[in-house]
Structure 1
Amino acid sequence: MTCFLGIDLGTSAVKALILDEAETVLATISVPVPAPAHPTPLASEQEIGSWWDAVSTALTRLAQDHGPALARVRGIGLSGQMHGLSLLDAEDRPVRPAMLWNDGRAEAEAEALQAQGYDLARILGVPAMAGLTAPKLMWLQRHEPASLERARHLLLPKDVIRLTLTGERVTDVSDAAGTWLLDQAARCWSDRAIDTLGIDRRLLPLIVESPAPTGTVRPEIARRFGLPQGVIVAGGAGDTLAGGMGIGVVEDGRAFVSLGTSAQVFVATDSYRPAPENAVHSFCHCLPARWCAMAALLNGASALGAMSRLAGSDDIAGLLDEVEASFTGPSPLLFLPYLTGERSPHNDPFARGVLFGITSDSSRAQMIQAVLEGVAFSLADGVAALNAAGTSVGAAGFIGGGARSRLWARIISAATGLTLNRFAGGEHGAAFGAARLGRMATGQPLDAGMPAVIETIVPDLSLREAYLPRVEDYRSLYRALRPEFRRGKPT
């Protein structure tokens, strides 16, 4: 039986899975990636070589434990963290560490670009933001010109893995969508953006549609991991778009909420509908003639991990049980989850996390609950931004590591007003979607169906009524502190 491999390069881990032709998951594995470094304020970097190290470990373990399945793989799909700036020299060696999606150093460059108005943003699908790839290139032009002088190739994170697998320098439309260099409607590099930013076009890779074949695994790599010769590697997709593919959110109006390290509210569309004025991301989807509207949040389950460390416990499940045991309604505390700034709807790289309202009687459970609510309230802001842009969000899938918590799902449903569907295997969304793209690259037709719904969570009306004023308090707190965040920004 033919199999397909999906590899998802996340910020904190590489996830890989093997599917058979019936889309049964035969094997899964997760390998940690070294945490990002923050050498200066607003910086977020990873060593580019650490990505292949983690992928290599994952493939080695799959070969050891699931060798027969790996030997039947005919197609590989890749997904990965978006917006990362990875520069390679003429020998394909990293010029410097990658600047990641949550790197905020290019704020001045993004502001200068956006000061020119929204005309270019409507072509590129999103207002200029510090974490996008192109503003970071401009930051390097200003602060590290020697790095750009050495650079010969710009690749997005997952495409660095493709280069090692196949020797090809290629990206796909859905990952390129997050660079601030792609003409979203035409699904190609934007001449206007390249000219405006003064970028050397020779740095940019070839663009293909996500299911397109981009080469085959090199013979020495295939032998090393027990793959057959001639395995095809698909164009792949940015992780959020691959997550949509994994749960079948490809038809117009279908939606999901993803709660991983970051978070998204995502709606598939059958046409390109830019809304940069609302900080909505309008990107190419990973199927031809499909796009999406997305509220992208920089802080998701990572905020819970950070607060857990501050609370002196790495037992997140135990902390959630503690909250659930005492849960009666909204926490008396408010939490702004903007640990690494925020995109939708604020486009504010200087925003920071705030725990507000602590008294001598505050408990650890109240603090952790406030974190769950703060992320839920930021998702409510994302839903509001999409609605204001004319994209209605109704029932939505719920995927990502945070989707394992039923309590968090209940809080998010009440805060946003969304009916949430939890899926079997929803935590594998991006890797599963990548494997589907690998299947398509081999020429096999694909019905991108939705997985089985294991639970539907409808908004609790009494809890929603209790949360509505707390959402307004949350928004008011951010508005009050926004000037303070900017006054304290790094110089």
Structure 2
Amino acid sequence: MARFIGLDIGTSAVKAVLVDEAQAVLAEAAEPLATERPRPLWSEQHPDAWWRAVATVLDRLAALAPLAEVAAIGLSGQMHGAVLLGADLKPLRPAILWNDGRAFAEAAALNADHPGLAAIVGVPAMAGFTAPKLAWLARHEPPVRAGLKVALSPKDYLRLVLTGELATDLSDAAGTWWLDEARRDWCDAALAACGLDRSFMPRLVEGTVATGSVRAELGRRWGLPPGVIVAAGAGDTAAGAIGVGVVAEGTAVASLGTSANLLAATACYRPDPGRLVHAFCHALPGRWFQMAAMLNGASCLSWAASLVGADVATLVAEAEAAYAGPGDLVFLPYLAGERTPHDDPHARGAFFGLTAASDRRALVQAVLEGVAFTFADAVDCIAATGTPLGEIAAVGGGARSDLWMRILASVVDRPILRHRGGDKGPAFGAARLARLALTGEAPEAVCAAPPILDRMEPEPGLAAAYRPRLARFRRLYAAVREEFRPL
């Protein structure tokens, strides 16, 4: 029986899963990653750190289960990162990540100088996208820009190391701001706006296409058979959606990983730049999605845990035991700025309403509620485009919390579903793409929704109680927005 590996290069960790033909997860492994923030608004990781982590998780996977029957590997990874390679195809500097806000002026300039491009590339330029980062490099690091040979997304650097191939899939390319989303091809006008052309880009393929084979010496290290193919894969958002079967019009998924997003699959390209909804190619041929992208998800809970010196599980258990309905403390969760609906890299976190009685349980509940409120903004943005939103699947580490899902269902006033294997996230979706690259099966046959573990219905009383608090949350951001800007 063939087996498949899914690799996900996340922001906080690299994860790997081994999946069989019945789509059962046989083994999994993870290795944490650190993020460097050398200056305000900066967020960087070195590509070599990703490769070391990938090697480690594959070592662990091989120790847990023999890999001799693996036939294909699928890749997933954090989107929007700028991996800048020179003529020797080695990194010229650390990668600039999705949550890096340094290129805010360049993003504004791209939008002002090229107002028609947003409808072609899916969304107005924002600081975290790849394109503004290249414009920033030209101004602030001209030697790096002059030495640039090719710009890759994070997962595609791992493909290069694994196979020697330069390629990317359409869902990851969609997040660069250089892709003509309707035509599923590079946009020459967007590239030219950044002083680039197609020679700086990897080849484009659908996520279900094989892009090469694992190098023989690496295969021997992990006990892989000769000729294991590496699928094009997907950006982590698309891969997570594929993992829970969000591939057809009318299906949607909320992801609560380091960042957060709400993705709705669409059967056609449906842009709405004015609402800052991202309209991107899906990783399956002939499919697209709309997405509200939020920069702060479960990372807010990790931050709160480090603040009070306790572990996340303990804090969530305390909050759940004490929960008696909406709290009066409001948390703005914009620790790394925000995209949808604000496009504000300067936005920051804030607690409002602290008293001498505020304890850590109240702080944690406010964090859970604040992130849930950003999903209410996301639902409103996507629904306003005319895309129907019914029940929503939930994935990511944050989806493990019963309390968080209960709050989320009532805040967005829609049922929240958790699926078996949903906690495996983009790595499981990448394994599905690996299988499709090998077998050529119809995507519907492989990418069905896994069995439902549970369903959180919105509670009418809670939903009513949260409405005025959501309104306060929105007023609070509007009131202090200008105060977030540097003095």
TM-score > 0.5 by shorter chain: yes
Could you tell me how far 1:279 is from its partner in structure 2?
Answer: 0.5
Residues 1:360 and 2:339 aligned together: no
SS state of the match for residue 210, structure 1?
Answer: coil
SS state of the match for residue 29, structure 2?
Answer: strand
2:199 and 2:28 mapped to 1: Cα distance?
37
Residues 1:373 and 2:372 aligned together: no
Instruction: Give the aligned residue type for 1:363.
Output: D
On the 8 A contact 2:75/2:155 being kept in 1, the answer is yes
Could you tell me how far 1:118 is from its partner in structure 2?
Answer: 4.2
Instruction: Give the aligned residue type for 1:426.
Output: G
Could you tell me how far 1:444 is from its partner in structure 2?
Answer: 4.0
Say which of 264, 278, 282 aligns to 1:267.
264
Could you tell me how far 1:200 is from its partner in structure 2?
Answer: 4.2
After superposition, what is the alpha-carbon deviation per residue over 1:258-305, rounded to whole angstroms, capped at 9, x for unaligned?
Answer: 101001111000000001100100000011010001101000000011
Residue equivalent to 2:78: 81
Structure-to-structure mapping, 1:171-210, within 5 angstroms: 171-210=168-207
Residue equivalent to 1:459: 458
Could you tell me how far 1:117 is from its partner in structure 2?
Answer: 6.0
Residues 1:318 and 2:314 aligned together: yes
Could you tell me how far 1:191 is from its partner in structure 2?
Answer: 0.9
Instruction: Give the aligned residue type for 1:151.
Output: L
Instruction: Give the aligned residue type for 1:204.
Output: M
Residue equivalent to 1:23: 23
SS state of the match for residue 146, structure 1?
Answer: helix
After superposition, what is the alpha-carbon deviation per residue over 1:218-263, rounded to whole angstroms, capped at 9, x for unaligned?
Answer: 1111111111100111110000100111111101110111101001
Residue equivalent to 1:62: 61
Bigger shift: residues 135-144 or 111-120: 111-120
Bigger shift: residues 436-445 or 130-139: 436-445
Say which of 330, 334, 337 aligns to 2:330.
334
On the 8 A contact 2:186/2:198 being kept in 1, the answer is no
On the 8 A contact 2:410/2:458 being kept in 1, the answer is yes
1:133 and 1:89 mapped to 2: Cα distance?
17
After superposition, what is the alpha-carbon deviation per residue over 1:64-85, rounded to whole angstroms, capped at 9, x for unaligned?
Answer: 2212xx1101111000000000
Could you tell me how far 1:196 is from its partner in structure 2?
Answer: 2.0
SS state of the match for residue 295, structure 1?
Answer: strand
1:136 and 1:265 mapped to 2: Cα distance?
24
2:154 and 2:455 mapped to 1: Cα distance?
34
Instruction: Give the aligned residue type for 1:109.
Output: E
Instruction: Give the aligned residue type for 1:317.
Output: A
Residue equivalent to 1:9: 9
Residues 1:384 and 2:380 aligned together: yes
Residue equivalent to 1:222: 219
1:471 and 1:392 mapped to 2: Cα distance?
22
Q: 1:422 to 1:128 in 2, by over 3 A?
A: same
Bigger shift: residues 37-46 or 198-207: 198-207
Say which of 407, 410, 413 aligns to 1:411.
407
1:436 and 1:326 mapped to 2: Cα distance?
40
Instruction: Give the aligned residue type for 1:312.
Output: G
Instruction: Give the aligned residue type for 1:126.
Output: V
On the 8 A contact 1:334/1:374 being kept in 2, the answer is yes
SS state of the match for residue 79, structure 1?
Answer: strand
On the 8 A contact 2:246/2:253 being kept in 1, the answer is yes
Residue equivalent to 1:308: 305
Could you tell me how far 1:392 is from its partner in structure 2?
Answer: 2.3
1:65 and 1:27 mapped to 2: Cα distance?
6
Instruction: Give the aligned residue type for 1:26.
Output: L
Could you tell me how far 1:360 is from its partner in structure 2?
Answer: 1.0
SS state of the match for residue 343, structure 1?
Answer: coil
On the 8 A contact 1:77/1:234 being kept in 2, the answer is yes
Residue equivalent to 1:53: 52
On the 8 A contact 1:118/1:277 being kept in 2, the answer is no
Residues 1:468 and 2:476 aligned together: no
1:365 and 1:443 mapped to 2: Cα distance?
50
Could you tell me how far 1:38 is from its partner in structure 2?
Answer: 0.6
1:117 and 1:183 mapped to 2: Cα distance?
14
- TM-score normalized with structure 2 length: 0.98
Say which of 236, 249, 258 aligns to 1:239.
236
Structure-to-structure mapping, 1:76-155, within 5 angstroms: 76-116=73-113, 118-155=115-152
Residue equivalent to 1:156: 153
After superposition, what is the alpha-carbon deviation per residue over 1:39-72, rounded to whole angstroms, capped at 9, x for unaligned?
Answer: 11100000110000000001111112212xx110
2:305 and 2:221 mapped to 1: Cα distance?
40
SS state of the match for residue 17, structure 1?
Answer: strand
1:256 and 1:165 mapped to 2: Cα distance?
30
Q: For this pair of structures, how many residues does the alignment match? A: 484
Residues 1:398 and 2:394 aligned together: yes
Q: 1:325 to 1:371 in 2, by over 3 A?
A: same
Could you tell me how far 1:424 is from its partner in structure 2?
Answer: 1.1
SS state of the match for residue 345, structure 1?
Answer: coil
Could you tell me how far 1:206 is from its partner in structure 2?
Answer: 0.5
On the 8 A contact 1:7/1:76 being kept in 2, the answer is yes
Instruction: Give the aligned residue type for 1:457.
Output: M
Instruction: Give the aligned residue type for 2:138.
Output: Q
On the 8 A contact 1:118/1:276 being kept in 2, the answer is no
Instruction: Give the aligned residue type for 2:45.
Output: Q
After superposition, what is the alpha-carbon deviation per residue over 1:7-45, rounded to whole angstroms, capped at 9, x for unaligned?
Answer: 011001111111111111111111112x11111110000
Could you tell me how far 1:148 is from its partner in structure 2?
Answer: 1.1
Instruction: Give the aligned residue type for 1:214.
Output: T
Say which of 282, 285, 290 aligns to 1:285.
282
After superposition, what is the alpha-carbon deviation per residue over 1:140-169, rounded to whole angstroms, capped at 9, x for unaligned?
Answer: 000001111122121110001100110001
After superposition, what is the alpha-carbon deviation per residue over 1:100-133, rounded to whole angstroms, capped at 9, x for unaligned?
Answer: 0000000001111112464210000011100000
SS state of the match for residue 185, structure 1?
Answer: coil
Could you tell me how far 1:443 is from its partner in structure 2?
Answer: 2.5
Could you tell me how far 1:387 is from its partner in structure 2?
Answer: 1.3
SS state of the match for residue 16, structure 2?
Answer: strand
SS state of the match for residue 115, structure 1?
Answer: helix
On the 8 A contact 2:74/2:430 being kept in 1, the answer is yes
Residue equivalent to 2:39: 40
Extract unaligned runs of 5+ from structure 1. none
On the 8 A contact 2:30/2:57 being kept in 1, the answer is yes
1:392 and 1:364 mapped to 2: Cα distance?
38
CA RMSD of aligned residues (A): 1.0
Say which of 435, 441, 453 aligns to 2:437.
441
